[in-house]
């Protein structure tokens, strides 16, 4: 197991990537905010199989956190992350500082307008502007051929796909299915915030979505009915439900009938922890 090369400045990272491209090597890229879990490692394995060299970024992006969100307490474990990255064959870990990514005077942002509306976009103003901006900057620095993102952050994945298409970035975007715990809870760095009783109640998210999926497989297409099936499982288990919606899988438009490929998405608070999840309705 070889330790990855750690690069801290955009200039050095860009130079490394340019050398790989000149050597005709295909670059895969997995952006992360660190505190890696099995979900991240699955993304790295996917990237490892799609390219000659694998780059992972490790950067807690301040511009995607709101003023009352958990930037200061977001979990960090640099040494553990490097060990997990090495185990998956990562060649480079790009770990810039906030000053490197947003030097004094920086004032340019990317706003993917319609895809950022609704769902998390309404509850976290400015979040997706921060996400789109930092991902675009990372793409410009790393210059990957392919980038892998988890489908757990479904709206984020849609925003990035739209940005890449609209700005002619020429990068293949791969969505990887949500990685779950054996009991169904979607893996997330924020799961560490949950107490033992909250961890049990958090299972209501995956149970609710699974109930809607089962109903759709049985032939039900009415979005209100599908949502009600999920809500029955969530009721009394979550402390605050932010949204529970059925949307078109490609456009994220609200749908009344899940006849075309659709997705049901949820965001809810269990204790002080905000959790999100989604499942495809086929």
Q: Smallest Cα–Cα separation from 276: which of 157, 137, 163?
A: 157
Tell me the CA end-to-end span of the chain in Å, nearest whole number: 40
Q: Smallest Cα–Cα separation from 99: which of 69, 59, 67?
A: 59
Q: What is the DSSP letter of 191?
A: G
Task: Give the CA count within 13 Å in the CB-facing half-sphere of 105.
Answer: 0
Q: Are 257 and 237 contacting, i.e. CB atoms less than 8 angstroms apart?
A: no
Residue 35, token pair as written in the block: 């505190």
Return d(Cα 111, Cα 117) in angstroms, integer. Answer: 11
Q: How many helices (H) and strands (E) does the chain have?
A: 10, 9
How long is the chain? Answer: 282
Told to judge if 40 belongs to the known catalytic residues of this protein, a careful annotator would answer yes
**Of 37, 40, 100, 145, which residue is the catalytic one?**
40
Spatial CB neighbours of 259, under 8 Å, sequence gap ≥ 6: 221
Return d(Cα 253, Cα 117) in angstroms, integer. Answer: 10
136: enclosing H helix or E strand:
helix 127-142
**Which of the residues are catalytic?**
40
């Amino acid at each position: 197991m070889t330790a990855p090369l750690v690069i801290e400045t955009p200039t050095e990272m860009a130079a490394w990537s340019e050398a790989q491209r000149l050597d005709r090597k295909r670059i895969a890229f997995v952006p992360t905010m660190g505190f890696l879990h099995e979900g991240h490692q699955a993304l790295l394995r996917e990237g490892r199989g799609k390219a000659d060299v694998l780059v992972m970024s490790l950067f807690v992006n301040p511009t995607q956190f709101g003023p009352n969100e958990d930037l200061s307490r977001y979990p960090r474990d640099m040494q553990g992350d490097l060990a997990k990255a090495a185990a998956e064959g990562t060649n480079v870990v790009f770990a810039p500082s906030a000053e490197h990514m947003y030097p004094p005077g920086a004032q340019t942002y990317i706003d993917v307008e319609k895809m950022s509306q609704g769902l998390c976009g309404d509850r976290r103003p400015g979040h997706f502007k921060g996400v789109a901006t930092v991902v675009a900057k990372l793409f410009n620095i790393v210059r990957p051929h392919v980038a892998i993102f988890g489908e757990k952050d479904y709206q984020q994945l849609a925003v990035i796909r739209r940005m890449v298409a609209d700005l002619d970035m020429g990068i293949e975007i791969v969505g990887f299915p949500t990685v779950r715990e054996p009991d169904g809870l979607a893996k997330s760095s924020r799961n560490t915030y949950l107490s033992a009783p909250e961890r049990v109640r958090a299972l209501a998210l995956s149970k609710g979505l699974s109930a809607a999926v089962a109903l759709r497989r049985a032939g039900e297409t009415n979005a209100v009915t599908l949502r009600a099936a999920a809500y029955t499982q969530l009721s009394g288990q979550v402390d605050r439900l932010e949204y529970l919606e059925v949307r078109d899988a490609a456009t994220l438009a609200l749908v009344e009938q899940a006849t075309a490929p659709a997705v049901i998405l949820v965001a809810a608070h269990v204790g002080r922890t905000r959790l999100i999840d989604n499942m495809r309705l086929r």
